[in-house]
Amino acid sequence: MIRSARPEDAAQVAAIYNHYILNTTVTFEAEPVSASDMEARIAGVAAAELPWLVTEESGQILGYAYATPWRTRSAYRHSVEISVYLHRDARGAGLGTALYEALFNSLHSRSIHAVIGGIALPNDASIRLHEKLGMNKVAHFEEVGRKFGRWIDVGYWQRVLLREERD
């Protein structure tokens, strides 16, 4: 089941994210986040009138996806950055695809024009997911992050949702 995130989801969402913080380079955060930190992030996305979705089974959050404003200047107001994270035991079951499809539908209904996803490289699984959903690589920045004693490249993928509305 995919639904909007609620404040009481924050502890489980933080636990999913903290695995990636502590064990991977897919996020450049270095310190675990608390449930209250995550609750504030979820509230911030809601305050921006953007979606934060979770997928759950039997009360356990298995993954989440959300959108944040791409930049703060007014001209960027129709573009968002998207992210998806899955519980480490829920990967490979199609949940990332389902979350992103639901997220894209929600963004389309909000008249969001473009979605942008950043990927710490290498990350073949994330690249496959983004490209499966019609996103194209539009940028590659070399050695812009440093974690676990090594430099990390970041690529950006983009998809235009509303091509017909160019004003």
In the chain the domains, ranked by start, together with CATH numbers, are 2-160 (3.40.630.30)
Rounded distance, CA 41 to CA 75, Å? 23
pLDDT 10s digits, 17-34: 999 999 999 999 999 999
Q: What is the structure's pLDDT at 94? A: 87
The Cα angle at residue 131 between residues 130 and 137, in degrees rounded to 5: 90
Residues of the chain with pLDDT under 70: 163-167
Q: What is the structure's pLDDT at 167? A: 47
Q: What is the structure's pLDDT at 164? A: 56
Q: What is the structure's pLDDT at 91? A: 81
Alpha-carbon torsion angle 109, 6, 43, 28, nearest 10: -90
Q: What is the structure's pLDDT at 165? A: 46
Neighbours of 150 (CB within 10 A): 9
Q: What is the structure's pLDDT at 55? A: 97
Rounded distance, CA 123 to CA 58, Å? 30
